[in-house]
Amino acid sequence: MSIPQARKAGLPLMNLVRFKGVPILKQLHLEEQLLRTSSNNWCIINDGTNIPTIVMGLSGKPSDLLELGSVLQDQVPVIKRFTGGGTVVVDPGTIFVSLICNREDVPDVQPYPHSIMHWSGQLYNEALKGIHGFQLRENDYVFGNRKFGGNAQSITRKRWIHHTSFLWDFETKNMAYLKQPARAPEYRLARSHTDFVCRMKDYMPRSVFIHRTVKAIESHFLVKPVDLDVDTAVHDAEFVHSTRLLMNNELEEAFSIST
Nearest to 147 by CA among 86, 100, 99: 86
Non-local CB neighbours of 115 within 8 Å, separated by 6+ positions: 109
Q: How confident is the model at residue 104 (pLDDT cuts 50, 70, 90)?
A: very high
DSSP 171-216: -GGGGGGBPPPSS--GGGTT--HHHHB--GGGTS-HHHHHHHHHHH
Which of the listed CATH numbers 3.10.180.10, 3.30.930.10, 3.40.50.10860, 2.40.110.10 matches domain 3-258? 3.30.930.10
What is the distance, to the nearest Å, from the Cα of residue 74 to the centroid of all Cα atoms in its chain? 24
Averaged pLDDT of the chain = 93
Contact present, 128 and 205 (Cβ < 8 Å) = no
Q: What is the pTM of this model?
A: 0.93
Contact present, 198 and 148 (Cβ < 8 Å) = yes
Q: What is the pLDDT of residues 117-175, one digit of tens each?
A: 999 999 999 999 999 999 999 999 999 999 999 999 999 999 999 999 999 999 999 99
Q: What does the pLDDT read at residue 149?
A: 96
Residue 7 has pLDDT above 70, yes or no: no
Residue 212 CB coordination number (10 Å) = 18
Q: What does the pLDDT read at residue 237?
A: 67
What is the percent of the chain where pLDDT is above 90? Answer: 85
Residue 3 has pLDDT above 50, yes or no: no
Q: What does the pLDDT read at residue 6?
A: 46
What are the boundaries of each domain within the chain? 3-258
The rounded distance, in Å, linking the Cα atoms of 12 and 202 is 34
Nearest to 39 by CA among 162, 156, 164: 156
